[in-house]
Amino acid sequence: MKKFLFTTLVTTATALSAQAGSLNLDLRADYNSTTYTDSTLPDQTKFYFKTGRLDYQAKALEDLSFRVRLAFNKDATRGVDAAQTAVEYAYLTHKMNDTFSLSFGKFNTEFGGFEGATSGADLYLTSEFYTRANLTGAAGQTLGAFNLGTSTLLYATGVKGTFSFSGQTVHVLATNEAGGDTAVGPTASQNSSMYGVIYRGAFLEKALNFNLSYHTMAGPTADDKHQFMAAGVLWNSSPITFQFDYLVSEFKQDLTDSKDTTTSMVAKLAYTGWEQWTPRLEFTSTEDKQEIAGDITQKFMGYGVVVEYKPYVDTNFRYHLSYNNITEKPETGDDVKRDEVVVGARLMADFLK
């Protein structure tokens, strides 16, 4: 009888756990030391949360799933969808058949190539396409005023259809446009959308992967236009992982018939042949070409070295050390440099296991 009761309890607990889904804590805390050369930006030394979020996923029915992810290192600013910035995911997905599913809510826009698809907890050196940030801190040397990038458009509220077949995936989506100065009118009266088409393909037993995407949306006034394009390739076969992205953000202003364009290239090479250690080299190159505010061309070059160490093989916990060097070549004046050292740890753990 005791055996029967014990078996029943174990079976019930297992069933409840499976029904409960997963609740993950994703936490990355860093010590960051950043110094600038020939910039008005101040040097920094700080401890901070690079990533801090709770991620809950479960099924309401066999073909109906949902996901909610809250980030506690983001603010409470609300957009036209009434969700706070801290709400990264809040969506449901209806799997209609073996090849098509439909998602509603706030989700990942599949923006920014493989760099955008990488978890923020695994990013160290990022392109200017991703950050939209310069190094000078001077008003006359900012990036294109209306250009946007991954950090602004990675999460959005809308509808997304996903077609999956033979290792290939095609996403088609329509979402709210970005808020603030980039929207057509004030956020409260938004009346246009961002549209996107994304293709991802895996070949050679998923060792060779491709990522192609196109997103577009209107600008601050009628007939202004944003266009975003990404083309990437990923080779992932032990012990070598290599990733390359070509990323373009273009804003065309109808009034002046001029455009601002940011073009970034991102390359990463990692060696995964050791059980506990993973070294990686990272490289970014960006050209920011402006016509709207005057003929301004700025170039950026970034190099990074990363070492990750996992003390426990079967646990998603690591220590990491990275060094980044970024140089900006402004239109006028001396080159500007940023040297950055990051030391930290990351844990991802499921509360329900």
Domains located in the chain, CATH noted: 36-350 (2.40.160.10)
pLDDT at 1: 47
Whether pLDDT at 138 is above 70: no
Mean pLDDT of the chain: 89
pLDDT in tens, 58-115: 999 999 999 999 999 988 888 888 888 999 999 999 999 999 999 999 999 999 999 9
pLDDT band at 352 (very low <50, low <70, confident <90, very high): confident
pLDDT band at 144 (very low <50, low <70, confident <90, very high): confident
pLDDT at 145: 75
pTM above 0.85, yes or no: yes
Q: Which residues, at least 6 apart from 171, have a Cβ–Cβ distance to it below 8 Å?
A: 110, 160, 161, 162, 163, 196, 197, 198, 200
Cis peptide before 239 (omega within 30 of 0): yes
Q: In the structure encoding, which two tokens stand for residue 145, read together?
A: 């005023």
Whether pLDDT at 4 is above 50: no
> Are the beta carbons of 94 and 86 closer than 8 angstroms?
no
> Are the beta carbons of 332 and 300 closer than 8 angstroms?
no
Q: What is the rounded average pLDDT of the residues 105-127? A: 97
Q: Which among 215-219, 288-292, 322-326 has the top mean pLDDT? A: 322-326
